């Protein structure tokens, strides 16, 4: 006889948690009903994970053995006890109403041998003393009574029902655990932030808010933020709104003072995979604009330099300088500043240090010397 474990997954309720047991020598397939020993006693469960669908090395905890394969008598016994529990649940609700106890019974169920009935209830208080009620019910039913407090989501899962979408509750039909839901998920999906409009029959936020949350986050990461400034082919614009489904941004053009709608893909094709924010545009383009305008401002200075160089060429060769009346003095002064002391023109000083005679004055200009009285 082999000591190797043969784990199988067993579920006791629809959309309930899967518990693993050791099949041992039993040949089981998905859909088989088995009798196992639990904390509530013997119960009937349904095999949902066959031995060839799970590795024994993945199961770390100790596995309880499967008692036997459920027979037709076991299934009929479970159905009779289920009907009995429904009647006793109604009786227990009347007793709670008469006593005025702050608790609401949700459901009740027997174990397979009928030795214990378990009642599930909710209450506005975290702790409640139900021991007198449990003793009274145990005397009335002639069996052991166990009472367990559950939350609002567990209550909706046990009672089952339909929501505004027209489908069965996810937690009662297929969802085995409750996800963590926050109001941030509704905001990310542009849903109304009124809790009454995004809450289920349990009074808590819809579990389905988590289903498409990651997809919306990925889409919003490719979109410009509402209220931000972006650069468009026609100028700067402010983002008024974004439609995530159609990927269209509604923009307010600051220069044209009008509202336009532009596909976000156009902005992405222009600047890459993401939208280019206006802050980055200003930081990059401002130095470029200054460099572009600088040559136009320096153009007169360059022209003066060219004229001065052309006028200084004859003086360097020892010839005379011909200048138009009225502007020769200015050109000679500019040339003197560029040439320094060695090339100071005549009329403003003596001969240069190198012995070169000073340039002759223009005969058409005013005579040298002080003006006549």
Q: Per-residue pLDDT tens for 95-147?
A: 999 988 889 999 999 999 999 999 999 998 888 888 999 999 999 999 999 99
CA-CA distance, 205 to 43, in Å (whole number)? 33
Share of the chain above pLDDT 90, in %: 50
CA-CA distance, 159 to 169, in Å (whole number)? 10
| Domain map (residue ranges) of the chain | 7-70, 77-150, 224-280
User: What architecture does CATH give domain 224-280?
Assistant: Roll (2.30)
CA-CA distance, 21 to 9, in Å (whole number)? 7
Say if CB 199 and CB 169 are below 8 A apart: no
**Which fold, 77-150?**
GMP Synthetase; Chain A, domain 3 (3.30.300)
236, containing H or E segment: strand 235-243
Task: For residues 11-33, give the mean pLDDT.
Answer: 92
More confident: 294 or 254: 254
CA-CA distance, 286 to 39, in Å (whole number)? 74
- Give the dihedral sign, CA 57/59/61/66: negative
3-state class (DSSP) for residue 286: helix
Task: For residues 62-87, give the mean pLDDT.
Answer: 95
Residue 255 has a pLDDT of 87
Residue 233 has a pLDDT of 77
Lowest mean pLDDT among 204-213, 286-295, 296-305: 296-305
Q: Per-residue pLDDT tens for 23-72?
A: 988 999 999 999 999 999 999 999 999 988 887 667 878 899 999 999 99
Work out the number of other CB atoms within 10 angstroms of the CB of residue 202: 21
Burial bucket for residue 292 (CB in 10 Å: 0-12, 13-18, 19+): exposed
CA-CA distance, 40 to 43, in Å (whole number)? 8
Mode of pairing for the β-strands spanning 144-149 and 116-122: parallel
CA-CA distance, 239 to 259, in Å (whole number)? 10
Task: For residues 345-365, give the mean pLDDT.
Answer: 47
CB proximity list for 222: less than 8 A, separation 6 or greater: 247, 264, 268, 273, 274, 275
pLDDT at 311 over 70: no
Which residue is associated with the tokens 């309880």?
Answer: 64
Q: Which token pair is 186?
A: 């509704």
The overall average pLDDT reported for the chain is: 80
266, containing H or E segment: helix 264-271
Main-chain phi, psi angles of 128, to 5 degrees: -140, 140
Residue 295 has a pLDDT of 54
More confident: 357 or 150: 150
Selection from 153, 140, 243 nearest residue 199 by Cα: 153
Mode of pairing for the β-strands spanning 64-69 and 18-22: parallel
Say if CB 83 and CB 117 are below 8 A apart: no
Main-chain phi, psi angles of 75, to 5 degrees: -65, -40
Residue 315 has a pLDDT of 44
Ordered strands of the 229-232 beta sheet = 229-232, 235-243, 248-253, 258-263
Residue 46 has a pLDDT of 96
Q: How many CA atoms lie within 13 A of 103 on its CB side?
A: 25
Residue 230 has a pLDDT of 83
Residue 224 has a pLDDT of 84
Say if CB 362 and CB 347 are below 8 A apart: no
């Amino acid at each position: 006889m082999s000591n190797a474990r043969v784990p199988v997954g067993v579920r006791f309720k629809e959309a309930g948690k899967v518990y693993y047991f050791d099949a041992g020598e039993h040949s089981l397939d998905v859909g088989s009903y088995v009798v196992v020993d639990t904390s509530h006693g013997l119960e009937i469960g349904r095999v949902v994970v066959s031995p060839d669908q799970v590795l024994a090395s993945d199961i770390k905890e100790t596995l309880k053995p499967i008692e036997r394969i459920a027979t037709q008598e076991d299934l009929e016994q479970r159905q009779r006890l289920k009907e009995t529990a429904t009647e006793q649940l109604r009786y227990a609700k009347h007793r709670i109403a008469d006593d005025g106890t702050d608790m609401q019974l949700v459901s009740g169920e027997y174990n397979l041998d009928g030795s214990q009935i378990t009642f599930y209830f909710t209450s506005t208080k975290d702790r409640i003393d139900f021991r007198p009620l449990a003793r009274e019910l145990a005397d009335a039913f002639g069996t052991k009574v166990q009472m367990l407090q559950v939350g609002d989501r567990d209550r909706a899962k046990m009672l089952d029902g339909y929501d505004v979408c027209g489908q069965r509750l996810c937690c009662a039909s297929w969802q085995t655990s409750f996800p963590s839901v926050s109001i941030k998920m509704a905001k990310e999906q542009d849903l109304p932030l009124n809790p009454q409009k995004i809450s289920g029959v349990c009074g808590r936020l819809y579990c389905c808010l988590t289903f498409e949350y990651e997809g919306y986050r990925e889409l919003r990461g490719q979109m410009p933020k509402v209220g931000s400034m972006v650069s468009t082919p026609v100028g700067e614009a402010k983002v008024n709104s974004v439609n995530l489904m159609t990927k269209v941004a509604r923009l307010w053009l600051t220069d044209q003072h009008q509202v336009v709608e532009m596909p976000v893909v156009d902005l992405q094709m222009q600047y890459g995979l993401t939208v280019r924010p206006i802050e980055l545009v200003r930081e990059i383009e401002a130095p470029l604009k200054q460099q572009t305008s600088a040559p136009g401002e320096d153009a007169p200075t360059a022209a003066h330099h060219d004229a001065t160089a052309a006028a200084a060429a004859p003086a360097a060769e020892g010839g005379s300088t011909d200048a138009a009346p009225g502007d020769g003095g200015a050109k000679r002064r500019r040339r003197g500043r560029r040439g320094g002391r060695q090339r100071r023109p005549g009329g403003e000083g003596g001969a240069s240090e190198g012995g070169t005679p000073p340039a002759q004055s223009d005969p058409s200009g005013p005579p040298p010397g002080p003006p006549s009285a």
